[in-house]
Chain A
Amino acid sequence: MSASVSSRHPLLTSIGVALAGIAAVALLAVLPGGSTLAQQVVSGLMLGGIYVAVAVAFTLTIGVLNFLNFTIPTLFMLTGMVAWGLSRWGLPFGLSPGLHWAPALLGGVAVAILASLIVERFTFRYLKTRHGDATEHAIPLVSSLGFLLIFEHLVLIFLGSEAQSFPVRFRLDLHLGPLVVGLPQLASLLLSLGVVFWLSWLLQSTRTGRALRSIAESPDTATLLGVEVARIVPIVFLLSGLLCGVAGALFVVNYSDVSPFMGEHVGTKAIAGMVLGGLGSIWGAIAGGLLVGLLETLGIHFFGGDAAQVAVWGVLLAVLILRPQGLFGASRIGKGKL
């Protein structure tokens, strides 16, 4: 029954999936000729880890605020482009060229968080005055589309429309028997999943998390219990900015390439992962994001780039036809979404 799946603790289920994944990789690695495939699985999971962080950012705003935040892919892009811009201009000052990439990436993450809070200030605060109005949902949606275009064009104006290569490449390989694992890849997967698990713990076990879940179910009841909704809502934006920033920074570390349009690809894949896993549950976003990363990487490996896109979206449509609630979702729209 789907209800029992969704009520099981996500951490336990995820640990199970992770162990199964490690076992599969190990098995592939010892098979003759399997090690390149194992390599692909590892890359797929790493790419999936980036999708997971972005998918969870979407899930959080949809779950708590019933709001599809269009600026999320842009926040991801901002991190990469701002970090690139900072390091090209030699910022932060005083560090030798080989050293300043880390603070530049942190700067990119900070800009993503800041931009997310600006979006909250100018889209979501309208809810306070327009509550119950027909415009209640339209205003944040339309304003977030507006911010998407503003941020994108600011980047085009100041940083240009070209794809850029990050000046420093991060390469350090770990040899595990026949398997070569990029240390940045491994660290990325662990970091993105770590951030997501931390978030899931925050939602489940802290006072702020309970307040967020109460707002998700009923802002009116939360208010009557003493929750200052207008003060808690920015936390949602701060967290989604952080998730997008981490995802953007990890993307830079692994691929070195940034462009003003890098958000679109990751954004659509993250949404695909979120829907595939089950709309509205963090666990669904984790599983779906990893799955999309795997499908894409393996698709490219076996069939080439264009066919990989067909594979991802084909699987998504097939799953939606067979299981509209997603692979792991219980389809509880409105209540208990997180």
Chain B
Amino acid sequence: MLLDVADLEVRYGRTHAVRGVSLSVAPGEVVTVLGANGAGKSSLLKALAGAVRPAAGRIWLAGQDITALAAPDRVRQGLVLVPEGRQILVSLSVRENLLMGAYCRRDAEVGRDIDAIYDRFPNLAARRDMPASVLSGGEQQMLAISRALLARPKLMMLDEPSLGLSPLLVSRLFGLIGELNREGLAILLVEQNTRMALRAASRGYVMELGRVVLDGPAEKLANNDALAAAYLGGH
């Protein structure tokens, strides 16, 4: 497995946000984590990225125990998070945001990789020297993902990337996720857009109040009546 998580716990004072979650992601796989607001999805990803310290549990990346590593070292090991709300650095230009994505890299191919991003997203290319604050929500999401890609990750974690995007942009976003996956990138995807997420993923986990209450192949989850009643109704 590329990522293995065993019995992870996250606490904020008295709030017990993640309660004994175990999950795994295979190389080249898209795995989704679903759940209602406050289920603990973001806390899980933050603990995996090293942004919050887990109260208990172990994390392995490509067989190596990374539980004790600080967030910057996990980036160097190939585990990157595109956080909830994108967290673009608005005081930096588009190009500088991309350069910050490659902050940990010392190789000479950064420039070429940035050019490849510009080819993929002409909107970013056209605004490369503008402050990132001028970007639209969709462009900011593209920048956030591009910035994460520049770290050359083994596993990319996305926290609700479709939040606030128009239906057209949501389908373009999922198109991009599929494309990146076909290029070999493993993705751990937290989503509220259950239908789209289960279509993109091969497996899924459903969280409730900090616990995994359901997991399995994506098609099975998509046809699960309890899940449909809880999350898919009304769509």
Contacts and interface: CB of A to CB of B under 8 A. Distances in A.
A226 B92 contact: no
B75 A210 contact: no
Interface stretch (B26-34, B83-91, B119-127): B83-91
Contacts of A223: 51, 71-72
B76 A214 contact: no
Given A224-B71, A227-B72, A207 B103 contact: yes
A324 to B, nearest CB: 21
A335 interface: yes
Contacts of A227: 72, 100, 103
Contact of B104 (A210, A218, A221, A226): A226
Given A226-B75, A228-B70, A336-B131, A221 B103 contact: no
B92 A213 contact: yes
A34 B91 CA distance: 45
Contacts of A221: 83, 87, 89
Contacts of B103: 207, 210-211, 225-227
Interface string A7-34: 0000000000000000000000000000
A186 B101 CA distance: 43
A296 interface: no
Given A207-B103, A226-B72, A227-B72, A217 B83 contact: no
A213 B51 CA distance: 19
B89 A218 contact: yes
Interface string A184-221: 00000000000000000000000100110110111011
B96 interface: yes
Interface in B95-121: 96, 99-101, 103-104
B46 to A, nearest CB: 9
A139 B83 CA distance: 29
Interface in A41-96: none
A335 B132 CA distance: 12
A183 B90 CA distance: 44
20 contacts: A210-B96, A210-B100, A213-B92, A214-B89, A216-B91, A220-B51, A220-B87, A221-B87, A223-B71, A224-B49, A224-B87, A225-B100, A225-B103, A226-B71, A226-B72, A226-B76, A227-B103, A335-B90, A336-B90, A336-B131
Closest 3 CB pairs of A and B: A336-B91, A226-B75, A226-B104
Interface of B: 49, 51, 70-72, 75-76, 80-81, 83, 87, 89-92, 96, 99-101, 103-104, 131, 147, 151
Interface of A: 207, 210-211, 213-214, 216-218, 220-228, 332, 335-338
